[in-house]
Structure 1
Amino acid sequence: MEITDKFEINKTGKLMDFSIRHKEIPIKLSPDLDEAIKMLLWYVPNITSEQAKENELLLNPEYDDYIFKDIMASMKLEDRDVLFTEEISEKLAKKFEGKVGVDEQKLIMTLADSSETKTMALLRHIRNAIAHGNFNVINDLVIGFDIKRFGEITEYRAVFKINPTNLLKALRKINLDFTTEEFIAKAFRKSGYRVEPFQEEFERSHRFDLYAKKKDKRFAIEIKNYDYEKNLKEDFIKEMIGKISDMDTRLRPILIINSSYLTDKSKNDLIKNDVIILDIKNIKKMQKGRDMISEILREQEVYKKCR
């Protein structure tokens, strides 16, 4: 699964008449589409809703392509079905009106700005189209438009033609699987580690986020989402070192952070205190089954000897 510039519309597929207007009011919805709409309107992370929770992972540009490709797989979208573009022409949008192909899914989107992730753009556009009634259902597909009107001018911000069952699968994955802790726990498990919430004296402890074990090695994992800034305060380093001062000596601490947020001094202080530093690139490699912990342990030993 990739995100490429191979987007295309099948010119030889089955065509059916489509209108954005609902013939029956209210529109009849399949159970999957009904649930998907409810989740979009109220429950997806990081939206303006009393029912929504914050999820920093979905806002983090470092993980963006990895997560969105997983969502594409859940929705059964291929690279030829997805297009990100700065502008959607009226000519392109009109291909989803009148006679439309009903044997393929398509997703065309703009991003609000350079900081918006593809996942949050997907949720925003579909939610807007549903909330403003700019959608209809044909042949088990939902076709919708996220638009902005300026007088007689219509600006197309997204156009989609998707299967509601596949959409629901993606929304469930977003709510259940794409939390920072679960995402990282899965990476460790794929690399052969047993992972569970961190405990002390058989009770859940918030000193660290996760506990991991592989053979005779045990680790305490701290996950640091740092608002995507470039300077990590030294107070955090002191706090991290303080956490491990009276920790079980059989445990090796791991800090998961974008390494560019660490100064050379911070890195040296952490390594001196036997902290293993994992960045996002390491987590992606672990998602593929590569044991980056063992590799970094070997590298740190060499680093210490060279100093």
Structure 2
Amino acid sequence: MINSLDIRRIRTMLAVGLASGALALFSACTVTADPGSGPQQEGNCGPDQEYAIGMSQANNAEPYREVMNSDITTAAAAVPGFKVTVADAAQDNSKQVSQVENFITQQIDLLIISPNEAKPLTAVVKKAYDAGIPVIVLDRKVEGDAYTAFIGGDNVAIGKAAGEYYAETLLPDGGKVVEISGLAGSTPAAERAQGFREGIEGNPKIEIVATQSGEWLREKGQSVMDALLKANPDIDAVYAHNDPMAEGAYLAADQAKLADKIKFTGIDALPIPSGGIKAVEQGRLQATFVYATGGREAIDLAKQILIDCKKDVPKSTTLGTEQITKENATEMYGKLGGKG
């Protein structure tokens, strides 16, 4: 005779068995794990299909990000089946997290993200990746490696090249420098600062007298420079982490009647009329350094993943740079596709 204890044991064994079987069936049908590229929704690749791509942009206020968005949408328009939706986080980490969560809910086929800051965006990028969505991290990094691929410049190398330019060419006899850095918490800001310090090591007469964040924005760079000049009116140069902040610093110095006494450099070198190359050509900046947007490269990689069904895509792609001064500004503007 079967007693009540035996009945409870049988029920428990049946429940565990059914749950295990359901979990195994769910796992087998929805996601395949690939050691090289991470989880990806099975069967969701190949030609002659429609693909929804979500682009999570840190902000649309910077000219660099406007060009990045344009590079992505233009390249995607040339790929049959690609449809890109761009979400602007407006430099708000929580807003960007929410936008990525929304993309996950919409079950997009691929996510491209340029994080506002690394740490706050890491978890939601991992959530998308673990959900089987291929993730291309563009320009700015997240922590860890829970993504499909990263595409961006070597910001330490760019910063070092800028520092060496100061040490050897711009301020060979030394001088006082103020640094206008990018948004605190973004990886390019930390890496461009680190690289610059490595670059000026060869010239101990160069001194960084102040560092302050301009948050990548021209207007903020101008207000920061105005305050820095009041405290440091005898500076020799401004190392700005991007061209808009360098231009803002120039405007502040010009208003203080000090622009002719100070040298300015930036980073980005966008081939547009309002970009850094034209600022060098016109004499406001002494130099800038190319920092490619990676937008076209991101769409090419998306094509490999979604249409070519390639699983062993490179985990990291480093884009090259080049120093631009007045001597090569006109040539580089044309070489990089500048118009107007």
Q: Same fold (TM over 0.5)?
A: no
TM value normalised by structure 2? 0.33
TM value normalised by structure 1? 0.36
Q: Which has the larger radius of gyration?
A: 2
